[in-house]
Structure formats: C-alpha cells, structure tokens
Amino acid sequence: MDAFSYRGNELYAEDVPLAEIATRFGTPCYIYSRAAIETAWRAFEHSLRSHPHLVCYAVKANSNLAILNLLARLGSGFDIVSGGELERVLCARGDPDRIVFAGVGKRADEMRRALEVGIHCFNVESVAELERLNQVAASMNRRAPIAIRVNPDITADTHPYISTGQSAHKFGVAADEAVAAYRRAAALEHLEIRGIAYHIGSQIISMEPLLQALERLLILADALASEGMALQHLDLGGGLGVRYRDESPPDPADYGRVIASRLRERKYTVIIEPGRAIAGPAGVLLTRVEYLKRVGDKHFAVVDAAMNDLIRPALYDAWQEISPVEKRARAEAIYDIVGPVCETGDFLGRDRSLEVAPGDLLAVRTAGAYGFSMSSTYNSRPRSAEILVDGAHPHLARKRESIADLMAGESIAPLS
C-alpha cells in the first residue's frame, strides 16, 4: 500500500494534506503513516503463520517511541543494537522477552541491563564476547540466552557499506569457526545456547542470497545437533529491500512463505528482523524550497532539509523520489535539490525534472527508515520534527529540536 498519494493535485499522508502538516508543524519534518507501518508488519507476521516464528522489528531503522509503541501493541519483537535502543523499547512498552540484542561491541553494563530485564536472546558476535557475557551473567547468578551470529560468507548484491555477510566484514563469527565457538559456549556455565543467527546486509532485492545463507545455517545447525547442541531457533536477520526507484524486491508476504516452506520439516522457531521493509515506505521527509539558483548551466533548488536530516543520498549515493506536494503548472527544469549544509555532498537528489518555485513544498519519498535515525545536528542544525499520521489525525511524535537543546550539556571552560 502507499499511504502517500495524490488527491487532485495535493499529496496526502493518509487523510491529511502534507501542506497542512507543514503549516502546523513547520519544515523540515518527517511524516509517518500508522497504517503503512502496521500493514507491513502484519504482512511479515502473516506470511510466517504456518511456522513458529517471531518478527523482531530492527529498531535502528526508525526508533521513534511512537513507532515502537505501534509495533509493541501488535505484539512485535525487537532487534536492538545498543543499551539506548533497549531503553527505547522498554519505554515504548515493548515486551523484553521478545528482544534480541545484536552488535559487535556490547559493553558489560549493556549486558547487565539486558539480563536484568530478561531479553529473549543475545546475538553474540565473537568468542571474546561469549567470555564477557558469561562473566556478567555469573556476577548476577543468571544464565544468559545466546545465539552466535555466524558470517555465512555470502555476497549480498547491495551497496558495500550495507553489505555485512562476507568474510572480510567485522560482523559475526566465521562459518568455519562457528562450531568451535559453540563448543566454547557450551562449556561456559552461565550461558544457555538458544539459537544461531545471521544478517547478511540491507536493501537486498533478491531472495537468492538470503536463501543461500539459510542453507548454510541449516548445515551448521545439523552439525551442532550431532554434537548434542540442539538449537531452538534460527534468526535470519533483516535486510529485505524496498522499492526506491525501479527495484523489485520480494514482497514480505512471499519472503515469509518461502522461508516457512523451506523450514516445514524443521522444528526451529524462525526469527526475522526486518527494519527498512517496515519503516521505509511508511515515511516521507517534507521540505520547503528556499531558493532557486542557477550556476552556469546548472539549476539548483535549495531546500530547508539537508544531509544532516537525510544522509542516505550523500552516504550511499542513494536515489529517493522527490515529489511536489502541490502539483502546479510552473516552469520545468532539471534541478539538483540541495540543502544549506557546507558540503558539496549535501544533496537530496540530482538531475530531477521538477516544476517548482520558491516556497513550494517537496516530499522525499520512502524516507521512513534510516532517515531520522541517522540524522545529526551537523552545522548546528536542530533535528527535524516527526509526525505520525493516523487517519485524519497528525500526532507530533517528536518535537523539533531547539537551539537550546543543541547546546544543552555544553559549558565554557573556567579559564583564568
């Protein structure tokens, strides 16, 4: 479903005109659709219904409390990568017993807190981490539930910065060292082996690499079972891509069906960790055109959002559709849409054919994932507001940061 569509010449989020949101809350701002988020989550959930499963939304894609709470109400699990994300999930009333904790650099205090609240599983990424987790659990007289994240050495055909499952990457334990790592885990008294995990990358647009990784995981799971280390679950990570331009990623419904049918004869609970595929299409970044300018032959539309608000174009050379909020007849030209930040890489789109005038609103589409959550205050730009639309009701899910917020916590040194 696309919750963002035109009625006449006006772009809406569900039943709210984006122009109305701009008037009420200002720009730039992120706008999310409750219906789009819930529909996407339910598609994953429904697709796996024939098999024991847990859908753990990847919090880093979009960690706004209002969104986490929508998902918690549906009964979602959560994939977290830090103590900060853990507190967000708890604050949004997520169930700790449905949390999996990934990440290559977990600190002892983060482990302690996760054990205290009783998370579902630690996805451990090295033998050194096994040892540390065992110590922390011992100090609390607890046993920590673990899966080991294995690096299946699969090439996900995606941007190199978001590919994570090849042998040269920092993530997980190499496949040929996995059995030894599990033997070590089995010998540590305060660990309890629950499962095995992988996550091969993000914005993956074909089932192939995901299924190849699953096959490698099953071989490992069998090898472990033959040594008496029976697993309860397989965690297949996230990574399912979305359509930004002309990609045709597998539909969540098909993805789950294929996985469930491959695992039909197996008793493992399957865990999946979709982030982008749930939040991405459910959001837009709303921005206003400040100036049009021409430099030589080149036309620029200077807008009030910048790379600090949405870094994907600058960081990954990502393409996201940019649409007028009100279609009006104006002079058409080919524009680079750029922000006010002092970097040449500060663009939201290049070579776009647009009919715009100063003051017009533009919507950067498919911006719900890795948008706000990757934003910064570079150039001392306060971070934007976030609005969650539910039918005809826009809810301010995060108010715009103030300049005072930016400086909070800083102080001038008392120099003599």
Compute the least distance from the CB of residue 227 to ligand PLP, in Å. 26
**By CB under 6 A, what part of segment 34-93 binds ligand PLP?**
58, 60-61, 79
By rule CB under 6 A, what string of x and - marks binding of each residue 360-379 to ligand PLP? ---------x----------
**Which pairing describes strands 10-13 and 4-7: parallel, antiparallel, or unpaired?**
antiparallel
Chain mean position to CA 11: 25
Does residue number 312 form part of the binding site for ligand PLP (CB under 6 A)? no
Chain mean position to CA 390: 21
Compute the least distance from the CB of residue 274 to ligand PLP, in Å. 5
Q: Is 378 exposed, middle or buried (0-12, 13-18, 19+ CB in 10 A)?
A: middle
Q: Catalytic residue positions? A: 342
Contact call for residues 265 and 221 (beta carbons, < 8 A): no
Span interacting with ligand PLP, options 24-32, 128-136, 270-278, 329-337, rule CB under 6 A: 270-278
Q: How many CB atoms lie within 10 A of CB 351?
A: 10
Does residue number 124 form part of the binding site for ligand PLP (CB under 6 A)? no
Tokens representing 413 are: 């040194």
* Cβ-based nearer residue to ligand PLP, 143 or 169: 169
- Cα dihedral 58, 62, 68, 72 sign: negative
Span interacting with ligand PLP, options 127-135, 232-240, 353-361, 400-408, rule CB under 6 A: 232-240
Does residue number 202 form part of the binding site for ligand PLP (CB under 6 A)? yes
By rule CB under 6 A, what string of x and - marks binding of each residue 166-195 to ligand PLP? ------------------------------
One DSSP character per residue, 123-171 reads: EE-SHHHHHHHHHHHHHTT--EEEEEEEE-----SS-GGGB--STTSSS
Does residue number 275 form part of the binding site for ligand PLP (CB under 6 A)? yes
* Cβ-based nearer residue to ligand PLP, 61 or 221: 61
* Cβ-based nearer residue to ligand PLP, 55 or 193: 55
Does residue number 146 form part of the binding site for ligand PLP (CB under 6 A)? no
- Nearest to 237, CA basis, from 67, 103, 92: 103
- Full strand arrangement of the beta sheet holding 4-7: 4-7, 10-13, 16-17
Compute the least distance from the CB of residue 375 to ligand PLP, in Å. 16
Compute the least distance from the CB of residue 299 to ligand PLP, in Å. 34
Q: Which amino acid is at 219?
A: I
- Nearest to 375, CA basis, from 383, 364, 387: 383
Number of residues binding to ligand PLP, judged by CB under 6 A: 17
Among 145, 195, 237, 252, binds ligand PLP (CB under 6 A): 237
Compute the least distance from the CB of residue 141 to ligand PLP, in Å. 29
* Cβ-based nearer residue to ligand PLP, 58 or 301: 58
Distance CA 412, CA 336 (A): 40
Among 233, 276, 312, 352, binds ligand PLP (CB under 6 A): 276
Q: How many CB atoms lie within 10 A of CB 373?
A: 17
Does residue number 239 form part of the binding site for ligand PLP (CB under 6 A)? yes
Residue 304, SS3 per DSSP: coil
* Cβ-based nearer residue to ligand PLP, 61 or 89: 61
Which DSSP helix (H) or strand (E) runs through 209? helix 207-226
Interface residues toward ligand PLP, by CB under 6 A = 58, 60-61, 79, 102, 199, 202, 237-240, 273-277, 369
